[in-house]
Amino acid sequence: MVHTDLFATGYSVTLTNIIQNPADPTAAVPVYSPTVPVSAKNSYTYVLPTVNLRLDVNDQLVLRLAGSRTLTRPTLSRLGLSQDFTFRPPNSNTISGGNPFLKPFLAWNADASVDYYLSRTNYVSLAGFYKKLENFIISGQQPEEYFGLTFLANRPFNSQKGQVYGLEASVQSTFDFLPAPFNGLGVTANYTLVRSSIRFDPSLSNQTFNVEGLSDTANFVLFYENSLLQLRGAYNWRAPFLRQTFGPQSEPENIFGYSQIDLSGSFKVTPNVSLYAEVLNLTNRKFRSYSRFEERLITVSDQGRRVTAGLRFNF
């Protein structure tokens, strides 16, 4: 069981009144207080059970099953009390700030996997996962009424429920059956397929909530290891995904599909000294984002090729 008491303090300007002119709604005048101390309280209690089961069918086959409920509290930056008002009567009033009354992000999780060990270092695995999510925290917009006028509030909110589910397949194989020096070769690969009950539809301009940051991923690694030398080459790929529902100009921001090749290696000079080198983004791939449709490009980020080398000392 987890119990949380939240007490937030700060300083803010508050809206104390709006003097309206019935003959001219655009002539309404807001009345603000000076900057004054403000505070808010919030509390919540949740039970978070966890269970993990493992069955060794034989020396090669292992079955795993897990279930849990997890909690993630809002970040401190989203719990702020300060507020900023923009007053453009009668219908263009906005207010922005934090939300100390946010509930924590909750998830019921179920995971199952089948692992088959071909040898001490070789295996094949297939895993499935399901997450029932609630209290999503999004930075959205919703109407709030002050002194008879409607303000569009830009602040974090707890949104609706959703489900995330998928499969992950992975394999690892070492070629230790080969004669030296080739017995140090090996390969690992995995693919994750992920889906959500809530899908982003670019044709809907009024869609205020999506499960952000989800997409299929894949990794392929070729490596070589012996007592002195370690070499590693990795190919990493990620499918396009929705980064945020309300991005620049309050429009969605999506990320194009992306792939990257990384290389690394080290050589042990003595038992305590090693040389190492690393190249990230070998092919100098660029990071690109777009709005509702791919034709509406937002950014192109050239992160460059990064090369590092040095000595590592172990004491």
Q: Give pLDDT tens digits for 233-245.
A: 999 999 999 888 7
| Among the listed residues 181, 164, 177, the one whose alpha carbon sits nearest the alpha carbon of residue 216 | 164
| Dihedral sign from CA coordinates of 193, 260, 255, 107 | positive
pLDDT of residue 132: 94
Rounded to a whole number of angstroms, the distance between the first and last alpha carbons of the chain is 43
Q: Across all residues in the chain, what is the average pLDDT?
A: 88
Cα angle: 75, vertex 133, 238; to 5 degrees: 80
Per-residue pLDDT averaged across 176-195, rounded? Answer: 92
Q: What is the reported pTM?
A: 0.77
- Can you tell me the distance from the alpha carbon of 312 to that of 141, in angstroms, rounded to the nearest whole number? 51
pLDDT of residue 203: 65
Cα angle: 209, vertex 168, 214; to 5 degrees: 20
pLDDT of residue 84: 81
pLDDT of residue 87: 78
Query: Which three-class secondary structure state does DSSP give residue 145?
Result: strand
What single-letter DSSP state applies at residue 91? T
% of the chain at pLDDT higher than 70? 98
> Pairing mode, if any, of strands 93-97 and 149-158?
parallel
Per-residue pLDDT averaged across 263-271, rounded? Answer: 93
pLDDT of residue 78: 87
pLDDT of residue 205: 62
Residues in the chain: 315
Residue 207: is its pLDDT beyond 70?
A: no
Each residue of 74-126: pLDDT tens digit? 988 888 887 788 877 777 788 888 889 999 989 999 999 999 999 888 999 99
Instruction: Please tell me which residue, 314 or 217, carries the higher pLDDT value.
Output: 217
pLDDT category of residue 227 using cuts at 50, 70 and 90: confident
